[in-house]
Amino acid sequence: MTSYARADRVGGLIQQILSDLLRRDISDPRVQMVTITMVKVTKDLRLARVYFASAGGKAGAADAVQGFRSAAGFIKRRLGPQLGLRYMPELEFFYDESFDHGARIDQLLKSIATRTDEPDHSND
């Protein structure tokens, strides 16, 4: 049970440090408008799956993944000393589609609300 709690803590720390790196030190335009939404670390702390949302949506996600891959060495060198782990986890980057799903649901709900607000003239 503690290994999962430790993996969760390491994931949270990676998310915090990576967010700071994106804001301050990484100047690649492909990852400028990216937000780290979650980091899941395996219980053996060997793999970290980094999920992100992009201002460009799904269209900009492929570019952002390429930007993350090109900056992976720099990111790992900066993360390593701050994490204090024996092994630095491998980083994998994934686009988080939950924001797109949420926006789509919000759009559907608004369209339903608009239709119900329109007067019904069928009884006239």
Domain boundaries, the chain: 2-97
Mean pLDDT of 20-33: 88
Structure token digits, residue 45:
């702390």
Query: Of 47, 50, 42, nearest to 7 (Cα)?
Result: 42
Over the stretch 56-113, which tens digit does the pLDDT of each residue have? 777 788 889 999 999 989 999 999 999 888 889 999 999 988 777 777 788 888 888 7
**Residue 39: predicted pLDDT:** 96
User: In degrees to the nearest 10, what's the CA dihedral of 82, 85, 86, 90?
Assistant: -90
DSSP-derived secondary structure for 72-83: HHHHHHHHHHHH
Mean pLDDT of 7-21: 94
**Residue 12: predicted pLDDT:** 95
What's the predicted TM-score (pTM) here?
0.78
Which architecture, in CATH terms, is 2-97?
Answer: 2-Layer Sandwich (3.30)
